[in-house]
């Protein structure tokens, strides 16, 4: 791995995204719309994307002065796992329902973050999701995604 700082990496990613989106604003799909007072739907975004291009470049350059700093292997592993676990959880909410996926997540995340008191985690994972689900889905009537297997949750 080369020794560039994360600031440069973020600047570069932002630069690429801005460049692509700027190019995208010339897509014919935005031409056919009714243009009002000469300003179509991409008039304002184009200004912003131009600014974003310049600022991304500046940030990327600024980042060259910064040292490369990376997490140790173990910390990186924990962070990546926490991100992956949360991503899976979010995917699971819509496919396996809120209640089931939340029980699993509330059990798994503290464990991953280094908390090993299993009875406490178990109790929390059993009570907390149920309470939250009950309060929102049944009392506040904010309907949460349900699983395909059961009728009510």
143 binds other proteins (CB under 8 A): yes
Closer CB to other proteins, 26 or 75, in the complex = 75
3-state secondary structure 68-135: CCCCCHHHHHHHHHHHHHHHHHHHHHHHHCHHHHHHHHHHHHHHHCCCCCHHHHHHHHHHHHHHHHHH
Q: Which of 3, 65, 73, 151 binds other proteins (CB under 8 A)?
A: 151
Q: Which is nearer to other proteins, 16 or 83 (CB)?
A: 83
Q: Which of residues 92-131 bind other proteins (CB under 8 A)?
A: 93-94, 98, 102, 105-106, 109-115, 117, 120-121, 124, 128-131
Q: Return phi, psi of residue 19, to 5°.
A: -65, -45
138 scored as a contact of other proteins (CB under 8 A): yes
For the CB of residue 132, give the shortest distance to other proteins in the complex, in Å: 6
- Residues 5-44 vs other proteins: string with x where CB under 8 A? xxx--xx--x------x--x-----x-xxxxxxxxxxxxx
């Amino acid at each position: 791995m080369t020794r560039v700082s994360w600031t440069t990496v973020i600047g570069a990613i932002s630069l690429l995204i801005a460049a692509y989106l700027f190019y995208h604003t010339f897509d014919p799909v935005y031409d056919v719309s009714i243009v009002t007072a000469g300003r179509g739907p991409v008039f304002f975004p184009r200004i912003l994307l131009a600014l974003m291009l310049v600022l991304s470049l500046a940030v990327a350059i600024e980042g060259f002065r910064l040292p490369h700093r990376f997490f140790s292997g173990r910390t990186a592993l924990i962070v990546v796992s926490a991100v992956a676990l949360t991503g899976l959880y979010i995917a699971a909410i819509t496919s396996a329902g809120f209640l089931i996926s939340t029980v699993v997540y509330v059990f798994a995340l503290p464990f991953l973050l280094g908390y090993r008191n299993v009875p406490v985690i178990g109790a929390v994972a059993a009570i907390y999701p149920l309470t939250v689900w009950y309060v929102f889905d049944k009392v506040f009537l904010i309907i949460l995604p349900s699983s395909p297997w059961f009728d009510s949750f």
